[in-house]
């Protein structure tokens, strides 16, 4: 295979990652680990048989599905079907498998799975769960059923390559390298400072402990992780220390799962609270193929322009994309309604098809407010915005905020689209021009010459880039090539086309 073929396959791979939702990608990752574990078991590298592993997985899945269905009906909740399988697979990979003939053991596994699913509803405030479901379930299992987790998948060197490769792909998709780095530095530093032989201690931690599986799978769970950078780094560092130090109160020692739920408590206090139920009040066409959906929330949501939400729809037909998406809020914080804008193709995903057909008064659920893609409080700071396609939505929110508040900003927006007919929010940016905004519409690619022409003082500005991942990476490289500091470039978390 020559370099061109490698480049083509690499491009296709990253396009696949960008198109796949984070929940579906996590499901694929865990499923791949499960298949690898089956092969390792069949080859005699694990202490249990493939049939025991298969049977345990079936018990976890059925119990999780039944309990989730029951609680969803009782609580009238909009649920994500993928989370059922993700939680069941996690439990399969960390709880010791049992044979089909082990009735008592099977009942215990079913109970653990039921606890995990139930915790999403019972240990929740404003319909948002506080604890990582799998972690809380195995904590309760250890205390109530005397059956702790063995974390067997994490301490097996045969499975480590699968954990590493898949885990790095997941972290790339989630853009949570700051979390993983903070966790890793904290944990390994503590190992180095407390070990008599630091090198041996670090080697044992990396090769034979829960370190990588815990970091890639448990720590990154979106709903129990702080959504903004500084709290997220603190969260990773805290859990890293607790995981390695294993503090104790008397005879009670911290386990990996207790370290995580302790971190979840910290995350709860530093994160936006709860889940919101929104009802559709209006839909409007913004441009060719681009639509905006306007909702009224059951309670006030406080956010900053440029932040995003996770949006969950019920009754979405099964496809390979799931029923959850992350979208930037396109309305202003001062508006009485919330809005999202998206592109709808001729063959949309099941989620987008359901959204398009959602009747007036139809309900969508939102949670996980987050994002650091916000403008500075200093209104005198010169700003430059670069948008590609539907990536213009955070800038629409910022412009609406400036119009609503009468805030003046020295801001230049370069807005690239495939055609004139696909340009959205012309009216919004025209209104913002009275407060200092200047917008340049570009059909096609934004290049260095355009930046120099339209933003001659580019060296003095703070840049914001939003759009498809490939476009964001290209624009960032271009700005760095112009001598712009990396610290003067902010990029939006935009996980591909949905």
Q: Give the pLDDT band (50/70/90) at residue 336.
A: very high
What mean pLDDT is predicted for residues 108-132?
88
Tell me the per-residue pLDDT of 68-87, one tens digit each, with 9 for 90 and over.
989 888 877 666 678 899 99
Indicate whether 246 pLDDT > 70: no
Q: Given this model, what pLDDT does residue 494 score?
A: 52
- pLDDT at site 252: 47
Taking residues 298-308, what's their average pLDDT? 93
Quote the mean pLDDT of the chain.
90
Please name the residue ranges forming H helices in 314-392: 350-357
pLDDT given for residue 496 in this prediction:
42
pLDDT of res. 321: 67
Are the beta carbons of 109 and 50 closer than 8 angstroms?
A: no
Region 198-215 average pLDDT: 93
pLDDT at 222 over 70: yes
Are the C-beta atoms of 135 and 218 separated by less than 8 Å? yes
**In the chain, ranges of CATH 2.40.30.10 domains:** 276-370
The pLDDT of 377-394, averaged and rounded, is 95
Kindly state the DSSP code that residue 63 receives in the 8-state scheme: H
Helix (H) or strand (E) segment spanning residue 338:
strand 338-343
The predicted model gives 439-455 an average pLDDT of 95
User: Which CATH number among 3.30.1360.170, 3.40.50.80, 3.30.70.20, 3.40.50.360 corresponds to the domain 383-491?
Assistant: 3.40.50.80
Choice among 51-60, 176-185, 234-243, 348-357 with the minimum mean pLDDT: 348-357
List every span in the chain annotated with CATH 3.40.50.80. 383-491
pLDDT at position 156: 85
**The pLDDT of residue 78:** 66
For the ranges 249-258, 326-335, 448-457, 458-467, which has the lowest average pLDDT?
249-258
Residue 253: pLDDT over 70: no
Query: What mean pLDDT do residues 343-367 have?
Result: 89
Closest C-alpha to 111, from 59, 69, 72: 59
Look at the domain 276-370 and name its fold: Elongation Factor Tu (Ef-tu); domain 3 (2.40.30)
H-type helices in 286-419, by residue range?
A: 350-357, 393-405
Whether 20 and 12 have beta carbons less than 8 Å apart is answered as no
Element (H, E) at 366: strand 363-370
In this predicted structure, the answer to whether residue 243 has a pLDDT above a threshold of 60 is: yes
Cα–Cα nearest to 46, from 153, 186, 176, 196: 153
When pLDDT is averaged across residues 474-483 and rounded to a whole number, the result is: 95
What is the average pLDDT across 11-33?
Answer: 87
Q: Which token pair is 277? A: 């139920």
Averaged pLDDT, 377-397: 95
Average pLDDT over residues 334-346: 92
Percentage of the chain with pLDDT > 90? 70
Concatenating the DSSP letter of every residue in 168-216 gives HHHHHHHT-HHHHHHHHHHHHHHHHHH-SSHHHHHHHHHHHSSHHHIII
Which tens digit of pLDDT belongs to each residue from 125-163?
Answer: 777 788 999 999 999 998 899 899 999 999 888 999 999
Q: Check whether 330 has a pLDDT greater than 70.
A: yes
């Amino acid at each position: 295979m020559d370099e061109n073929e490698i480049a083509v396959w690499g491009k296709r791979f990253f396009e696949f990652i960008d198109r796949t939702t984070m929940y579906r990608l996590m499901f694929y990752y865990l499923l791949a680990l499960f298949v690898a574990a089956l092969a390792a078991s069949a080859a005699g590298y694990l202490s249990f048989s493939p049939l025991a592993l298969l049977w345990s997985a079936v018990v976890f899945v059925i119990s999780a599905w039944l309990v989730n269905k029951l609680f969803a009906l009782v609580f009238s909740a909009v649920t994500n079907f993928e989370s059922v399988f993700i939680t069941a697979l996690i439990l399969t990979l960390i709880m010791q498998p049992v044979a089909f003939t082990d009735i008592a053991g099977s009942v215990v596994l079913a109970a653990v799975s039921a606890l995990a699913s139930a915790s999403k509803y019972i240990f929740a405030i404003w319909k948002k769960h506080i604890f990582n479901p799998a972690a809380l379930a195995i904590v309760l299992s250890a205390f109530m059923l005397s059956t702790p987790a063995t974390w067997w998948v994490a301490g097996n060197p045969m499975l480590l390559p699968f954990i590493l490769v898949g885990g790095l792909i997941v972290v790339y998709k989630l853009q949570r390298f700051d979390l993983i780095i903070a966790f890793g530095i904290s944990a390994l530093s503590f190992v180095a400072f407390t070990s008599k032989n630091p090198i041996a201690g670090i080697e044992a931690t990396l090769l034979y402990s829960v370190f990588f599986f815990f970091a890639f799978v448990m720590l990154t769970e979106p709903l129990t992780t702080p959504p903004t950078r500084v709290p997220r780094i603190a969260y990773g560092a805290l859990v890293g220390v607790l995981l390695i130090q294993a503090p104790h109160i008397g005879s009670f020692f911290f386990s990996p799962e207790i370290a995580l739920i302790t971190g979840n408590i910290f995350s709860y206090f530093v994160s936006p609270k709860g889940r919101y139920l929104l009802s559709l009040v209006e839909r409007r066409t913004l441009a060719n193929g681009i639509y905006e959906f306007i909702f009224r929330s059951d309670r006030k949501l406080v956010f900053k322009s440029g932040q995003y939400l996770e949006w969950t729809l019920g009754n979405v037909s099964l496809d390979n994309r799931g029923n959850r998406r992350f979208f930037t809020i396109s309305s202003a914080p001062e508006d009485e309604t919330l809005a999202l804008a998206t592109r709808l193709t001729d063959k949309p995903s099941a989620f987008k098809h359901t959204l398009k057909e959602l009747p007036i008064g139809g309900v969508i659920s939102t949670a996980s407010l987050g994002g650091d893609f916000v403008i500075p409080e200093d209104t005198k700071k010169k700003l430059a915005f670069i948008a590609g396609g539907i990536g213009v939505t955070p800038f629409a929110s910022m412009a609406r905020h400036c119009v609503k508040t009468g805030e003046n900003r020295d801001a230049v927006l370069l807005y690239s689209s495939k055609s004139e007919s696909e340009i959205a929010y012309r009216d919004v940016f025209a209104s913002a021009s009275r407060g200092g905004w200047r917008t340049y519409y570009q059909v096609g690619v934004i290049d260095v010459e355009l930046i120099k022409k339209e933003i001659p003082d580019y060296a003095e500005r703070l840049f914001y880039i939003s759009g498809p991942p490939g476009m964001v990476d290209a624009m960032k490289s271009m700005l760095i090539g112009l001598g712009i500091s990396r610290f003067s470039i902010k990029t939006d978390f935009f996980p591909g086309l949905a």
